Amino acid sequence: MCEIAYQNKDITSKLFAERFQGKSLKVYGLNLPPVRQALPTNIPQIMANELKIDNVFLLEDNTIAVIDYESDYKKRNKHKYVRYVNHVSEHYGRQWKKDVIVRMIVIYTADVERSETSDLLDAGCLKLETQSVFLSEMNSQEISRRLYQKVADRIPLSEEELMEFIILPLTYRGKDEKNKSIGESVRMANQMEDEEQRVFVLSGIAVFADKVIVQSEDMRQIYINEFIKAAKANGLTGEYLDRSMLEKKILGLGSPKFDKVHNVKREDLVIPEEWRKVIEKPDGTWKKIIFYNTSINALLAQDEKMLEKMRSVFRTFQEQQEEIALLWRPHPLIRTTIETLRPELWREYAQIVKQYRQEGWGIYDDTADMDRAVVLSDAYYGDSSSIVQIYQDTGKPVMIQNVDVL
């Protein structure tokens, strides 16, 4: 079972504490009064050999919500919760000179199912009933699609959506699925236009990653500085401000994508025979190969206008097919995204794909190997995307298409 390292969930809970102030806990599906303020978690009475409480919130109805994050279920944890409730009730009851009502909330990652747990501890004269949240019950795919749509449409996310973004990896069961979600969430977050929101989300997601690899030493230092800055702002001390610890987590190893493109030569590529028929002239020499890239963002943003632009591009290159070979490589997630979000747009787009492939004068690349297209081609034409940076690094020409020019 994949467990959350304590220091990781501690950072996450600290980050969330600041964001929850004045807001509800709806991101977890909890129908409770809004948070009035985040209270200190270092209650003096908590036993020295116990981990401190993750979150303590004063709600608008004057009740206190004690929140603990768990990645597995242990029946004996209920005794820990009893101590939490007792100490919080005693501490704030004495401080405020009145009885307080405490809610004990346990948030389980997707590694725990509801059927595996029990909310009740019955010790005869004492009964404890927790309120449990199961991230396994969140609709991960629907959340991902909704967030991606807003990012693609360049719409700032709400506070609740920012927190959904960060906890999304925890809604997947098992280490492999969590890691896959982390990678996808980072890719989505990098497209966010609001810098403050982007940094917050990426910092939160990085908590769940064992290592963070960035493209340069300069970028590595920026990430480390921002992490320390966020830790200080959220009241964290000790190892969270330890630069040497962060330097082991955040690595400036360069980008594997950049490295692969630089290390592979055209003559080393395995080129499908049907591609060769498009590329080679009758005398055996090669045509100039243009890498045509179309993105999800552009298609969602421009809609029918982008489809007309694509038709215009294909007409132009079809006329030049004796000297130029067009290698069209659309984003690999176009079908999944467009078919789900814009089914009518997808039907028209699919017809364009069908016609292009049937005519056979150009190459259609729907493989997972993006590097082959970069190495094989002589120039880039298409939408602005992460591929552009990789392509520019090769020194080959890049031209971004303008949807308004047909």
Proportion of the chain above pLDDT 70, given as a percent = 81
Show the tokens assigned to 304: 């029918």
Least confident of 62-71, 152-161, 344-353: 152-161
Greater model confidence, 120 or 71 = 120
pLDDT at 246: 76
Kindly report the backbone phi and psi dihedral angles of residue 325, in degrees, each rounded to the nearest multiple of 5, phi listed first. Answer: -105, 125
pLDDT at 256: 54
Helices (H), 34-137: 77-96
Looking only at the bridges linking them, the beta strands covering 55-59 and 35-39 are antiparallel
CA gap 127, 119 in Å, rounded: 10
The CA angle 106-235-178, to the nearest 5 degrees, is: 45
pLDDT at 244: 83
CA gap 25, 399 in Å, rounded: 46
Q: Name the band, by pLDDT with cuts 50, 70 and 90, for residue 387.
A: confident
pLDDT at 326: 97
Greater model confidence, 5 or 335 = 335
Closest CA to 232 of 15, 13, 7: 15
The tens digit of pLDDT for each residue in 232-255 reads 665 566 666 778 877 776 666 555
What is the mean predicted confidence (pLDDT) over 86-90?
Answer: 92
Cβ atoms of residues 87 and 50 within 8 Å? no
The tens digit of pLDDT for each residue in 270-318 reads 888 999 999 999 999 999 999 999 988 889 888 899 999 999 999 999 9
pLDDT at 327: 97
CA gap 120, 363 in Å, rounded: 62
Cβ atoms of residues 374 and 397 within 8 Å? no
CA gap 208, 228 in Å, rounded: 17
Task: State the first-to-last Cα distance of the chain, in angstroms, to the nearest integer.
Answer: 55
pLDDT at 53: 74
The tens digit of pLDDT for each residue in 102-155 reads 999 999 989 899 999 999 999 999 999 999 999 999 998 889 888 888 887 778
pLDDT at 112: 93
CA 222, 227, 230, 235 dihedral sign is negative
Residue type, 86: N
Greater model confidence, 322 or 243 = 322
pLDDT at 308: 96
Least confident of 164-173, 316-325, 356-365: 164-173
Q: Name the band, by pLDDT with cuts 50, 70 and 90, for residue 6.
A: very low
CA gap 15, 390 in Å, rounded: 33
What is the mean predicted confidence (pLDDT) over 351-363?
Answer: 96
Show the tokens assigned to 165: 């973004």
Helix (H, G, I), strand (E, B) or coil at 325: strand
pLDDT at 257: 57
Q: Name the band, by pLDDT with cuts 50, 70 and 90, for residue 215.
A: low
CA gap 360, 164 in Å, rounded: 44
Q: Tell me what the pLDDT averaged over the chain comes to.
A: 82
What is the mean predicted confidence (pLDDT) over 318-342?
Answer: 90
DSSP annotation of 128: E
Residue 97 — left, alpha, or beta (φ > 0 → left; ψ -120 to 50 → alpha)? Answer: left
Tokens 């969602």 correspond to 300
Q: Name the band, by pLDDT with cuts 50, 70 and 90, for residue 3.
A: very low
Kindly report the backbone phi and psi dihedral angles of residue 241, in degrees, each rounded to the nearest multiple of 5, phi listed first. Answer: -105, 10
> Would you tell me how many other CB atoms lie within 10 Å of the CB of residue 175?
13
| Whether the predicted pLDDT of 353 surpasses 80 | yes
* Distance from chain centroid for Cα 345: 26
Tokens 């480390």 correspond to 224
Cβ atoms of residues 88 and 102 within 8 Å? yes
Contacts of 259 (CB under 8 A, 6+ apart): none
| Whether the predicted pLDDT of 4 surpasses 50 | no
